[in-house]
Amino acid sequence: MATMMLKVEEEKLLKAQSYERQAQLTLTICGYLWKAALAFLILDGSQWLLFKYPQLLANAILVILPVLGAVVYPFFHRRGQATVGAYIFLASILGMLILLPGILPEIMPGVAIAYIMTIILGSWIMSGRSNLLLIGVSTLGFALDMILLRIWPTGWFPPLDPTAGFLVGLLIGSTELIVGGVLIYLIIQGQDKLFRQVQIANWEIEGRVAAEQEQRKLLQQANVEIEQRAATEREQRESLQRLVLQIRGAANNLNSAAAEIQAATT
């Protein structure tokens, strides 16, 4: 019964540690993401000022969604509602991805990559069935985008001219590469940090086991030495007792001889 309770406590501790690790990773990602989204917002707004296409302004406004999701997450984290904050953060990204092809149909291939990146992100900041839910919602969002582009290929705005399309594609593609690269870097760094912590813990356990074995060996040696000393002391005590008996016997013999001699002389 005690062993089962211990396992339950260990399971709770592991879940708490995993929850905190995911929360810290999400905080770090949100910190990077809202800055990257803000930079993208400025660049996209500059393109709108340059080319005057309304979809560029709409795209800039749409990018505000993930910025807000990343900004509000720390608020929920401080209140102990990190899971709710993670849902809002991912929902803001999915909302942008679902609406984006209707504004800029030219970047649909980039949107597909962004869906994959979102699923990877979700697998690291959430766990359990939430990941399956994210995969399902992302798949439905992508399918909806494809269906809408099939029915309405031009989207809500007139198409961009080649120069504007090239610059918009360059900006969005570069942003995806940067965000994706940073995301992969953070995930790998987190895994590497976790691996180092586990390895250090294993080394500490091995060191403690080796130290305990050495202490046990020394204790056994000390016990053997104590037993040997005790045996030696017993032998010495027995020898001393025999010597005392011999001395007593010799004294008795001397007393008897003296008594005989005294009796013979009287």
pLDDT grade, residue 123 (50/70/90)? confident
Distance CA 140, CA 153 (A): 19
Lowest mean pLDDT among 26-35, 68-77, 139-148, 257-266: 257-266
Cα torsion 223, 226, 231, 237: sign: negative
**One-letter amino acid for residue 1 of the chain:** M
| Measured CA distances, 209 to 199, 212, 216, 223 (Å) | 15, 5, 10, 21
Highest mean pLDDT range out of 45-54, 126-135, 238-247? 126-135
Instruction: Please write down the HEC assignment for all residues of 161-224.
Output: CHHHHHHHHHHHHHHHHHHHHHHHHHHHHHHHHHHHHHHHHHHHHHHHHHHHHHHHHHHHHHHH
Other beta carbons within 10 Å of 105:
21
- Confidence at residue 167, expressed as pLDDT on a 0 to 100 scale: 76
* pLDDT tens string 188-201: 777 777 777 777 87
Q: What angle do CA 113, 116, 117 make, to 5 degrees?
A: 90
For residue 65, pLDDT over 70 is answered with: yes
Q: Which two tokens stand for residue 211?
A: 């130290």
Q: How many angstroms separate the most distant Cα atoms in the chain?
A: 155
Which range has the top average pLDDT, 42-56, 124-138, 162-176, 226-240? 124-138
Q: 20-57 burial by CB neighbour count: b if 16+ within 10 A, else e? A: eebbebbbebbebbbebbeebbebbbebbeebebebbb
- What pLDDT was estimated at residue 208? 82
CA-nearest of 73, 48, 254, 253 to 164 is 48
State the Rg of the chain over Cα. 41
Q: Is the pLDDT of residue 223 over 50?
A: yes
pLDDT digits (tens, 9 = 90+) for 1-15: 545 554 666 666 666
For every residue of 118-141, DSSP letters joined together read HHHHHHHH--THHHHHHHHHHHHH
User: What confidence tier does 132 reach under pLDDT thresholds 50, 70, 90?
Assistant: confident
The Cα 21–Cα 167 span in angstroms is: 38
Which tokens is 57 given?
């302004």
Q: Check residue 157 and report its DSSP letter.
A: S
Q: Give the integer Cα–Cα distance in Å for 80 and 173.
A: 36
Summarize the confidence of residues 50-77 as an average pLDDT. Answer: 82
Q: What is the mean pLDDT of residues 119-138?
A: 84
Average pLDDT over residues 233-242: 76
Average pLDDT, the chain: 77
- pLDDT computed for residue 140 by the predictor: 92
Q: What mean pLDDT is predicted for residues 81-102?
A: 87
- Pick 155 or 186 by higher pLDDT: 186
Nearest Cα neighbor of 124 from 187, 194, 66, 33 is 187
Strands (E), the chain: none
Q: Which amino acid is located at 187 in the chain?
A: I
Question: Within a 10 A sphere around the Cβ of 249, how many other Cβ atoms?
Answer: 10
